Amino acid sequence: MPEPFIPKRPVVTAHQKLPEAVIEAEAMSAYLKSKGVDAPFGSIYDEDLRKRVRGGEFDVLIVAGGDGTVLRAGHLCAPSGVPILGVNLGRLGFLIQVNRNEWREYFDKLFNGEAWIENRMMLRAEHFRAGESLGEWRALNEVVVGRGANLRPVHLTASVDGSLLTRYLADGLIASTPTGSTAYALAAGGPILPPKLRNILLVPIAPHLSVDRAVVLAEGSTVSMTPKSENAVLSVDGQAPITLMEDDHIDVRAADINAQFVRFGDPGYFYRNLTAHMNENSLGMPR
């Protein structure tokens, strides 16, 4: 089993625009205080709280919400090495192990030394135009070069470690982490990768008369995605798209930081969680 993790300085957060998450998070903070653990509560988007997280004031961030809120927590916490414990109030919760009716039980386990830390690979994406870097980002799920609101597919090339891999005519191309393999990449028909891997997954979106299979790159590889038409955009972890020009290129490689998640039980939790979600989604399907 991995080394036990017992935090001493927790903070409890939620998205301020999700009233039920705020109510639940306030209850979590009160519960921890009743156990003698000081756990401030605040919005995940409160700038003062974010500065305190980045400054190392807390050693675990507890967040109430769905996968989207946990994704934002990952962007905040990863650079400072602060682990995240998500409590699922959303629909899917692939990133989350604890459900809303279980958190008291799991909080007790946490402070009894029954938790461990799981490291998840992140991506580093950099946007180049005519040899100049225009920006860089970190992604926990995926980096996408796609057609945006335009109805026409995009022409683009993908190169791996400086060598051409293939050309695509498609709605877009996803460069995904193993974490992201259960997100957009899964919806686009890609395989599911276990979270401990450090490989980049390439998945084309609705390819037209071009390669229609996902490709798992070797660990440590860099992929460069280059649009060959004017209607392409860049999106990182579902954030607002950035307009690209023809022959811009997006270099994607493993980031030098990981997102850290608090987990319970043995590492096989991932497959049990996955099976539960798959079964849940199939309940409404005709037999």
Indicate the pLDDT class of residue 283, thresholds 50, 70 and 90: very low
At 138, which amino acid appears? R
- E strands present in 147-217: 154-160, 163-170, 172-176, 201-205, 215-216
67 in Cβ contact with 90 (< 8 Å) = yes
CA distance linking residue 192 with residue 187, whole number of Å: 11
Domains of the chain with CATH codes: 10-114+265-282 (3.40.50.10330), 122-256 (2.60.200.30)
Give me 131's structure tokens.
Answer: 């040899």
Q: Which of 38, 46, 59, 67 is catalytic?
A: 67
Give yes or no: 247 in active site: no
Give me 119's structure tokens.
Answer: 């490291």
104 in Cβ contact with 31 (< 8 Å) = yes
pLDDT of residue 270: 85
Indicate the pLDDT class of residue 279, thresholds 50, 70 and 90: low
What digits encode the pLDDT tens for the residues 181-229?
999 999 999 999 999 999 999 999 999 988 899 999 999 999 999 999 8
Cα dist from 213 to 4, 19, 209, whole Å: 40, 42, 12
Indicate the pLDDT class of residue 149, thresholds 50, 70 and 90: confident
Q: Which residue has the higher pLDDT, 92 or 43?
A: 43
What digits encode the pLDDT tens for the residues 221-272?
999 999 998 889 999 999 999 999 999 999 999 999 999 999 999 888 888 7
pLDDT of residue 29: 97
Neighbours of 51 (CB within 10 A): 10
pLDDT of residue 219: 97
pLDDT of residue 92: 66
Cα dist from 34 to 38, 108, 249, 272, whole Å: 9, 12, 53, 32
